Amino acid sequence: MYGVFWRFRVRPERALEFERIYGAQGDWAQLFSRHPGFIRTDLWRDPNLIGTYFTADYWRTPYDYDALLREHVGDYARLDQECEPLCLSEEKLGAYELVLQRH
C-alpha cells in the first residue's frame, strides 16, 4: 500500500465545506476513485488546533497514484484551484510505502 499525506490549515468559516470536499466520500475521493488503484481517503481533524486537518490518500502502489495524476491532470488542477479559497495553507507531508512485517 502507498499513502500520500497532506496537512491543511482551513479558514474557520469554510470548515464544513472543506470536510465535505476532502472527506471519504468527497470530491477528491470521487476524483481518485476513477483509477482502480485507489483504496480510500481518510480525513483527520486536530482537536487541539482549530482548523488543522490531515488527509491520507491510500493507493495500491505509487504507480497507481502517478497514473491518476497523469490521466486526470486537468480535473486535478481544476479541483485544486476550486479548493484553494478554503485553506490558509496546505503542505504535502510526504508519500510512503507500507512496510509489511512477517512474524
- CA dihedral of residues 75, 80, 85, 88 (deg, nearest 10): 170
pLDDT of residue 57 exceeding 90 = yes
- Mutual angle of helices 15-22 and 73-83, in 10-degree steps: 160
pLDDT of residue 1 exceeding 90 = yes
To the nearest whole number, what is the mean pLDDT of the chain?
A: 96
Structure confidence at residue 85 (pLDDT): 98
Place of cell 481533524: 45
> In CATH, which of 3.40.50.2300, 3.30.70.100, 3.40.50.300, 3.30.360.10 is domain 2-97?
3.30.70.100
Domain ranges (residues) in the chain: 2-97
pLDDT tens digits along 14-34: 999 999 999 999 999 999 999
Which secondary-structure segment (H or E) carries 57? strand 52-59
CA torsion through residues 90, 25, 56, 12, sign = positive
